[in-house]
Amino acid sequence: MLTLKNWLMRKSTETNTNQISAEKEKMIQGILSLEETTAAEVMVPRVDGIFLNADRSLEEVLSTILEHGYSRYPVYKERIDNVVGVLYTKDLIRYLQSSTQEKFQLDRYCREPFFVPASKKLDSLLRDFKKRHVHMALVMDEYGGVSGLLCLEDIIEQIVGSIQDEFDNETEELHSLGEGHFMIDARIAIDELNQYLGLTLPNDNFDTLGGFLYNLFGRVPSLHQEIQYENITFIAREVDGQKIKSVELIKDKTHEN
């Protein structure tokens, strides 16, 4: 059986490399990488996701939707590990348009959640999305807890690169303020940060800088709160609810080995 990977490899071999643009070559490599990449590697960590408590009022839900602009939100009861459904914004609009508006109860308007293990490969997940007609999956860890969430857009971005819509603010992940001094988007991947700045921050249990700092602080830090890790000072410069959004990083060269 001729697989997509084998077909792409055959075509790339048959075609003169000069005839393949860098962008197309990158897309081909992105497609090939899907069967090697796991859900855990591209998911949005739970600390960066927007989850709705099933007890929220209609006004609170609408406020969250207007603030963040997403089309789907996981809904939980009591704790985030207990996700009971996914709210589609368009389903809520139908409720608002109904002439007989019963008392609002969020979980009544949720669709069944789709759970996948963190080890799930993206090529398999893409097929599941198509088969189930869903665009979001909740990524579970080995203990049955929610590690994060992953949308169809996250998989597509592995092929075509970052997708910006009208609700996205395209900002630099890392901005230099001087030698050894940076302002950083907390969503930056630990691997990328280590590569950019020559750091050795642990990446075994954390995907993003925000997740690393959440663990380092032991909680969501207060605004401007500082913490030291080896020869690095981290300062929480922007905090929104349960999310660390931007971080100031200062390297102390006097203590470098």
What are the φ and ψ backbone dihedral angles of 126, each rounded to 5 degrees?
Answer: -60, -40
Between 33 and 117, residue with greater pLDDT? 117
Asked if 190 and 58 touch (Cβ cutoff 8 Å), the reply is: no
What are the CA-CA distances from residue 121 to residues 71, 74, 100, 102 (Å)?
24, 21, 44, 42
- The CA-atom distances, in angstroms, between 55 and each of 99, 106, 149 are 23, 7, 21
SS (H, E, C) 75-86: EECCCCCCEEEE
Domain locations in the chain as residue ranges = 40-160, 174-255
- Residue percentage of the chain with pLDDT more than 70: 82
In CATH, the architecture of 40-160 is Roll (3.10)
User: Which carries the bigger pLDDT value, residue 96 or residue 76?
Assistant: 76
Count CA atoms closer than 13 A to 182's CA, side-chain side: 17
The DSSP secondary-structure symbol of 44 reads E
* Total-model pTM: 0.60
- Count helices and strands in the chain by DSSP H and E runs: 9, 13
Contact status, residue 176 vs residue 249, Cβ threshold 8 Å:
no
Do 248 and 186 form a contact (C-beta atoms < 8 A)? no
Q: What is the pLDDT of residue 121?
A: 92
Among all chains, which residue has been given the structure tokens 């997940």? Answer: 125
In this predicted structure, what is the pLDDT of residue 166?
44
Q: Is the predicted pLDDT of residue 9 greater than 90, yes or no? A: no
CA distances from 29 to 22, 36, 161, 254 (A): 11, 11, 11, 42
Quickly tell me which residue has 């609170």 as its tokens: 60
Average pLDDT, the chain: 83
pLDDT at 132: 93
Residue range 161-171: average pLDDT?
A: 51
In the prediction, which pLDDT does 23 show? Answer: 64
pLDDT at residue 209 above 70? yes
Q: Spelled out in words, what is the top-level CATH class assigned to the domain 174-255?
A: alpha beta
* d(C-alpha 232, C-alpha 255), whole Å: 9
The one-letter amino acid code at 176 reads: S
Q: How many CB atoms lie within 10 A of CB 216?
A: 14
Q: Could you tell me if 159 and 31 are in contact, meaning their C-beta atoms sit under 8 angstroms apart?
A: yes
